Amino acid sequence: MGTHTARVQPSADVAENAVLGDGTTVWHLAQVREDAILGQDCVIGRGAYIGAGVELGDNCKVQNYALVYEPAALGHGVFIGPAVVLTNDTYPRAVSVDGSPKSAADWEPVGVVIGDGAAIGARSVCVAPLRIGRWALVGAGSVVTKDVPDHALVAGVPATRIGWVGRAGRRLEESAPGLWTCPETSERYRETPDGLALEES
């Protein structure tokens, strides 16, 4: 751990047993629930919600009014745009079939798992259970209902793959069948069954 400490604005609500890594900032009116674990140098924006037991790696950014419901797990360097929702209930209902209010014991939460470096665009909804691959990019306003491969660019309702992106977030250009190049970094990628893989130089 570094020499920094976490910074929490007075209006934020952070559970006593939540773990905040060094250099992490929690902004106004955000809520971080019990047993949440946030890595180093994370930023939790105004009014954001981090559910009980949610885990964030280092250098994550959760923008204003995003809702990250348990049991979500985010890798390192994940970007969650403004007003994004990561759901956790496959069959949501406020009441049981007999009309009685449902309690926490009446359902089993399911989570969204997001790989390192991935970014979820503003106002997108990720419907659990699903996995979003490393360095993937979800376009703003999308509804993601299926797993997203590594480096995939997805958009729409429901979200479908419309291209590939590199680690810089730029759309890749096909240089040969199954081979892709980043116009910003010149990094080269090869298609695999799981998405794209960075070619070692």
**Annotated catalytic residue: which of 4, 28, 76, 151?**
76
Q: Which tokens belong to 119?
A: 């970014």
Strand order in the sheet with 49-50: 13-14, 31-32, 49-50, 67-68, 85-86, 125-126, 143-144
Q: Is 4 a residue of the active site?
A: no
Q: Are 154 and 167 in contact (CB under 8 A)?
A: no
Query: DSSP of 54-92, one letter per residue?
Result: -EE-TT-EE-TT-EE-TT-EE-TT-EE-TT-EE---SS-
Mind telling me the catalytic residues? 76
